[in-house]
Amino acid sequence: MARLQLKEGQAMLVSRAHQEENSQIKIKGCVIGGEQIVVVAGPCAVENEEIMKETAFKVRGSGAHMLRAGAYKPRTSPYSFQGLGEQGLKILARVGEEMNMPVVTEIMDAEDIPAVSEYADILQVGARNMQNFSLLKKLGKINKPVVLKRGMSATIEEWLMAAEYILAGGNNQLILCERGIRSAEPWTRNTLDLAAVGMVKELSHLPVLVDPSHATGVRSLVAPMARAAVAAGADGIMVEVHPHPEKALSDGDQSLTPKGFSQLMREIEPLARAMGRRLR
Amino acid sequence: MARLQLKEGQAMLVSRAHQEENSQIKIKGCVIGGEQIVVVAGPCAVENEEIMKETAFKVRGSGAHMLRAGAYKPRTSPYSFQGLGEQGLKILARVGEEMNMPVVTEIMDAEDIPAVSEYADILQVGARNMQNFSLLKKLGKINKPVVLKRGMSATIEEWLMAAEYILAGGNNQLILCERGIRSAEPWTRNTLDLAAVGMVKELSHLPVLVDPSHATGVRSLVAPMARAAVAAGADGIMVEVHPHPEKALSDGDQSLTPKGFSQLMREIEPLARAMGRRLR
Amino acid sequence: MARLQLKEGQAMLVSRAHQEENSQIKIKGCVIGGEQIVVVAGPCAVENEEIMKETAFKVRGSGAHMLRAGAYKPRTSPYSFQGLGEQGLKILARVGEEMNMPVVTEIMDAEDIPAVSEYADILQVGARNMQNFSLLKKLGKINKPVVLKRGMSATIEEWLMAAEYILAGGNNQLILCERGIRSAEPWTRNTLDLAAVGMVKELSHLPVLVDPSHATGVRSLVAPMARAAVAAGADGIMVEVHPHPEKALSDGDQSLTPKGFSQLMREIEPLARAMGRRLR
Amino acid sequence: MARLQLKEGQAMLVSRAHQEENSQIKIKGCVIGGEQIVVVAGPCAVENEEIMKETAFKVRGSGAHMLRAGAYKPRTSPYSFQGLGEQGLKILARVGEEMNMPVVTEIMDAEDIPAVSEYADILQVGARNMQNFSLLKKLGKINKPVVLKRGMSATIEEWLMAAEYILAGGNNQLILCERGIRSAEPWTRNTLDLAAVGMVKELSHLPVLVDPSHATGVRSLVAPMARAAVAAGADGIMVEVHPHPEKALSDGDQSLTPKGFSQLMREIEPLARAMGRRLR
């Protein structure tokens, strides 16, 4: 039986056999899955309003389209900074509105769906929750775009099946995001799997973003991997930017400075054009 | 800094530096983490009362101490059998009571904590939810034993940190369960990591079970890996048994028949004794 | 201590601390590691003179710079086609000369170094021999360019240390080639690790090629990954092309047709320019 | 088609379908693959005659059957101690003879086959050379027992196919050795895959050893994993022992002291008996 078939002659919702043309997810003025390479940028976590504003101002100035930051943080240790919660959501929403940028933030608990939906434009399911099927089922019932990150060691099939949980619930505003998989390589945090991007674009109509920050965990590799993502056919990138990475409460090692981000945007632009797409 | 230290001189709750003697979790007549090798057996899912009873009757006859079966099933595909839900919980509870065996079942959604706590003696967190930190935090607040399975590709440190979330919430009735990690080996479902058992027994006071059924996905490997688990120092095993594996709604390939389970018990007994422990 | 340091203040030969500027390997008219993106194309194995000629003629017509094909084939099974040996070398050399293209071929046994050196312009060490240190030491003593493929599951450090074996022997005509690492993903043959390319270009002066054919094992992914490689900063690509992939004695599933290769070249050209490099 | 079949009805030499009863490899007084659990012990490398003798004397006293030590060392870095070469072989042979213990040592280069065959009783192919097919073919032509270690990330099938290369050459004195595979777990050197032992014992007639020292890289895990190996059905173990691990030129962290080895032997004995086997 062909991939992504439910049974002979019945294709899964996620598959190109079910929908041939690319899905386009419209969020305020932005379209993910269209001609434009969409850039989502921001700090790992909402730390306070000042840093959030400074980051937003600068990444917008360099051409970022959307803002990202976590209010609920999935941290390995219970003693690490867990995020500002609803207070963080409010800061993010205010800054997004002020800067006229849609905002993306992580949802970790189904209980928080109402609050996160109120403040955010896109709800993100993190790698650790990719197979939290209870959460996926509930996200299938809302009328908000969702970004589904690939799990730590998920196969492409498992990732697409997780997406199918959301589509099957009735929510087709779905965006995938490749963020690296576990490997034995110790010099990078994860191994960015760009072939998965190529494979998903072939098998599915859903838009695919790439997160080169979590995928590598190494600041100097973010730009090369962002460029490679565009060349591989990704529809956009999600990048961590912090005005003072050395003081960041989390993920400082992989965060670009605003200046580094500006340089990244200049590097991506000609590649987007070479791919027949546009950055602005 | 030493492993599992929060800061210099302050050990994490999960560590042997915090508690030197082994934790013992008492469930009705059973003790996990004591001298006895505890055997938890049962089908992958509660399918109906008849199969549940037949399995329970037979595994108890061969010496199993506890009963396992899923009412909520974390399935890769949304179109696969998702479990009987609360009806499954009720069947499991009835059969457990009738057979006088404590029952273990998976919790997938924090919303179901009250129902699962009512019907089950131990709540299991599956591999896919090992870093569902919202769920872990809530399980830290209940007064029921929890089995925390190792995540698909979790490191030992991440597994113990996930355990720390539950202990930090105040629930110290915690049992770990190694169930294999992802690897590139296609002939087994996962790669059973018994060195993790040795490492965890060294670093932590928590009891550790091993699930050779999910770890291998191959019926003929369940007994050798159960034996190896006992020899590695595990406190017990969780094994899938189904009276008619060829008709099982899930995991048939790795389920033992009651006869195979009986043989497994005969093989484990002398090894338990050789380890200075007992099976009965 | 910093990476690739032998001891404090003494950098390894492979490192940028030892040699700041990029190494350029000159082979007949070609330069690997310069401005040009170098494309090496050809069938998996030398099968016969006719197919070799047909492939060479067509890939040269589309702009390939060098020819690749194996005369000694490292096959998993002893019963699979093992290559034509010296007869294959002769065919490859004749076709290379006729087409005026330098040729690359694999060396599997130190005994064959004289023969392979006589007929080939570049000797390739395959993934399975990356840590065949006896072979590496002997290749350190010859005056011929060597391509060192990354091992199946080698870390970046192990790969660079393997390169150091060759440089330490006195042969500095060395080219690295990323060809994917093992992962649990079943839909691709290996997982192409482009972050390794970025990391190696940062830490080392050696040129780096990418082999998207072995890395993915999937024909439709070869072009996207070749594009991504160029965008990540690779100095060239090695691609399998066969005039009749369905009849190839090995690796047919991942071989491009000459038409597919021609399309690939058209896709790469604007990306090379966007990277400030050139294809021709 | 069934596993390890060459074609319908024709089983590979390595398979149980080809030979139902266990292969037994006889080396001087020892039999590998029989009732006895065979223990091979010794330092990572031959460092000098004194240490070799001291180690041999002590491990023999605790019941080891064979002696292991490397004269040719496959080291990641070209600047690490590469072994004493032929001088090391001579020391090893002298000590083995004096102590009346067969000796095992690694062969890295086909050129050294005559010398290694002269001095050693068993030639070991290391993990890094498991798919050095030229070496395997030559070892298929000698009349000496060979130990074939599993490659770093080799699948079970690739390992058995590598064994087939040796059997197909005519040498059926072949012993397999599981030594762990690469994983993302940073607290152990490799991940010991005991399910592979169970699988190989089922599919093949060849004897299987386990090397818990390289598999874990952690001294305190050697004994638990040696015990688990015996319980999983392995025919013996290979263990690193050094009289002064803190001064060892290589692998000190994973070497047992003679006292630790003696304790390990006491732990294994009752497990061997529980498995219906014997240690002495």
Distance to chain D for A219, nearest Cα, Å: 21
Q: Measure Cα distances from A14 to A7, A123, C7 in Å.
A: 14, 19, 54
Within its chain, how far is the Cα of A82 from the centroid? 19
pLDDT digits (tens, 9 = 90+) for A204-257: 999 999 999 999 999 999 999 999 999 999 999 999 999 999 998 888 889 999
- Would residue C118 count as lying in a domain? yes
Q: What is the mean pLDDT of chain D?
A: 97
CA atoms within 13 A on the CB side of B243: 14
Of B218, B220, B232, the CB nearest to D224: B232
In the predicted model, what is the mean pLDDT of residues B26-40? Answer: 97
β-pairing verdict for D236-240 and D208-210: parallel
Domains: count for chain C: 1
Instruction: With residue C210 as reference, give the H or E element that holds it.
Output: strand C208-210
The residue among C205, C196, C207, C208 whose CA lies nearest residue C155 is C196
Classify the phi-psi angles of D94: left when phi > 0, otherwise alpha if psi is within -120 to 50, otherwise beta: alpha
Looking at residue A263, what is its pLDDT?
98
- Within 8 A of C183 by CB-CB distance, chain B residues are 184
The residue among B238, B264, B268, B103 whose CA lies nearest residue B176 is B238
d(CA B42, CA B29): 19
d(CA A121, CA A143): 11
d(CA C37, CA C99): 20
- Within 8 A of C129 by CB-CB distance, chain D residues are 131-132
Establish, for the pair of chains B and D, how many residue pairs have beta carbons separated by less than 8 Å. Answer: 135
Give B91-153 as a 3 state SS string: HHHHHHHHHCCCEEEECCCHHHHHHHHHHCCEEEECHHHCCCHHHHHHHCCCCCCEEEECCCC
Looking at residue C172, what is its pLDDT?
97
Distance to chain B for D20, nearest Cα, Å: 17
pLDDT surpasses 80 at B1: no
Please tell me which residue of chain D has the smallest CA distance to C135: D109
Q: To probe the interface with C, which of A194, A218, A265 has the most C CB atoms within 10 Å? A: A194
pLDDT digits (tens, 9 = 90+) for C129-157: 999 999 999 999 999 999 999 999 999 99
Within its chain, how far is the Cα of A125 from the centroid? 9
- Residues with Cβ within 8 Å of C43's Cβ and at least 6 positions away in sequence, in order, are C51, C52, C55, C69, C240, C241, C242, C248, C255
CA atoms within 13 A on the CB side of B93: 15
Distance to chain B for C7, nearest Cα, Å: 25
- Within 8 A of B182 by CB-CB distance, chain C residues are 184
D1 falls in which pLDDT band (50, 70, 90)?
low
Decide if B250 contacts B80 (C-beta within 8 A): yes
Residue span of the structural domain in which A238 resides: 24-274
pLDDT surpasses 90 at B251: no
Q: To probe the interface with A, which of C15, C161, C185 has the most A CB atoms within 10 Å? A: C185
Classify the phi-psi angles of D48: left when phi > 0, otherwise alpha if psi is within -120 to 50, otherwise beta: beta
Of A134, A158, A182, the CB nearest to B76: A158
Instruction: With residue A265 as reference, give the H or E element that holds it.
Output: helix A258-274
pLDDT surpasses 80 at A162: yes
Establish, for the pair of chains A and C, how many residue pairs have beta carbons separated by less than 8 Å. Answer: 135
Give A27-83 as a 3 state SS string: ECCEEECCCECEEEEECCECCCHHHHHHHHHHHHHCCCCEEECECCCCCCCCCCCCC
SS3 assignment, position C39: strand
Distance to chain B for D66, nearest Cα, Å: 24
Please tell me which residue of chain C has the smallest CA distance to B188: C184
> Which residues of D lie closer than 8 Å to C, measured between beta carbons?
6, 74-79, 108-111, 128-129, 131-134, 137, 151-154, 157-158, 161, 164-165, 168, 182
Instruction: With residue D45 as reference, give the H or E element that holds it.
Output: none
Pairwise CB contact (< 8 Å): C131 & D76: yes
d(CA D180, CA B181): 13
Please tell me the total number of residues recorded for chain A in this structure: 280
pLDDT digits (tens, 9 = 90+) for A100-143: 999 999 999 999 999 999 999 999 999 999 999 999 999 999 99
Q: Identify the DSSP state of B237.
A: E
Chains that contact B by 3+ CB pairs under 8 Å? A, C, D
CATH for A130: 3.20.20.70
Of A201, A231, A274, the CB nearest to C228: A231
Looking at residue D85, what is its pLDDT?
97
In the predicted model, what is the mean pLDDT of residues C238-258? Answer: 93
- Would residue A15 count as lying in a domain? no
Q: What is the mean pLDDT of chain A?
A: 97
Please tell me which residue of chain A has the smallest CA distance to C212: A195
Pairwise CB contact (< 8 Å): C79 & D128: no
Decide if B70 contacts B108 (C-beta within 8 A): no
Looking at residue C1, what is its pLDDT?
65
Looking at residue A251, what is its pLDDT?
84
Within its chain, how far is the Cα of C192 from the centroid? 14
Looking at residue C44, what is its pLDDT?
96
β-pairing verdict for D122-125 and D174-178: unpaired
d(CA D191, CA D221): 12
Looking at residue B93, what is its pLDDT?
98
Q: Does the CA dihedral C28-C33-C39-C42 come out positive or negative?
A: positive
SS3 assignment, position D233: coil
Distance to chain A for C135, nearest Cα, Å: 25
Looking at residue A1, what is its pLDDT?
65
pLDDT surpasses 90 at D252: no
In the predicted model, what is the mean pLDDT of residues D57-61? Answer: 98
Instruction: With residue A88 as reference, give the H or E element that holds it.
Output: helix A86-99
pLDDT surpasses 90 at C250: no
Query: Would you tell me how many other CB atoms lie within 10 Å of the CB of residue C200?
Result: 23
Classify the phi-psi angles of D102: left when phi > 0, otherwise alpha if psi is within -120 to 50, otherwise beta: beta
Decide if D25 contacts D208 (C-beta within 8 A): no
Pairwise CB contact (< 8 Å): A195 & C186: no
Place of tokens 């999910």: B214
* ipTM (interface pTM): 0.97
In the predicted model, what is the mean pLDDT of residues C88-114? Answer: 98
DSSP class per residue in A205-232: -S-EEE-HHHHH--HHHHHHHHHHHHHH
d(CA C238, CA C233): 15
- Would residue C10 count as lying in a domain? no
pTM of the model: 0.97
d(CA A224, CA C78): 40
SS3 assignment, position C122: strand
Q: What is the mean pLDDT of chain C?
A: 97
- Would residue C23 count as lying in a domain? no
In the predicted model, what is the mean pLDDT of residues C225-230? Answer: 98
Distance to chain A for B112, nearest Cα, Å: 10
Q: What are phi and psi of A46, to 5 degrees?
A: -70, 115
Pairwise CB contact (< 8 Å): B76 & A165: no
Q: To probe the interface with C, which of A227, A254, A265, A267 has the most C CB atoms within 10 Å? A: A227
Please tell me which residue of chain D has the smallest CA distance to B183: D183
pLDDT surpasses 80 at B124: yes
> Which residues of C lie closer than 8 Å to B, measured between beta carbons?
182-184, 186
The CA dihedral of B197, B211, A184, D149, to the nearest 10 degrees, is 80
d(CA B68, CA D161): 39
d(CA A206, CA A208): 6
Instruction: With residue C199 as reference, give the H or E element that holds it.
Output: helix C194-203
- Within 8 A of A271 by CB-CB distance, chain C residues are 231, 271, 274-275
Pairwise CB contact (< 8 Å): C186 & B183: no
In the predicted model, what is the mean pLDDT of residues D5-23? Answer: 94
* High-pLDDT (> 70) share of chain A, %: 100
- Within 8 A of D184 by CB-CB distance, chain A residues are 182-184
Looking at residue B107, what is its pLDDT?
98
Distance to chain C for B54, nearest Cα, Å: 37
Chains that contact D by 3+ CB pairs under 8 Å? A, B, C
pLDDT surpasses 70 at A190: yes
- Would residue C19 count as lying in a domain? no
Q: What is the mean pLDDT of chain B?
A: 97
Chains that contact A by 3+ CB pairs under 8 Å? B, C, D
- Would residue B6 count as lying in a domain? no
d(CA B142, CA B14): 18
Pairwise CB contact (< 8 Å): C195 & A188: yes
Distance to chain B for C231, nearest Cα, Å: 28
pLDDT digits (tens, 9 = 90+) for D72-128: 999 999 999 999 999 999 999 999 999 999 999 999 999 999 999 999 999 999 999
Exposed, middle or buried, C247 (CB in 10 Å: 0-12/13-18/19+)? exposed
Distance to chain A for D166, nearest Cα, Å: 30
- Would residue C228 count as lying in a domain? yes
Pairwise CB contact (< 8 Å): C198 & A184: no
- Would residue A9 count as lying in a domain? no
Percent helix, strand, coil in chain C, to 5, is 40, 20, 40
C2 falls in which pLDDT band (50, 70, 90)?
confident
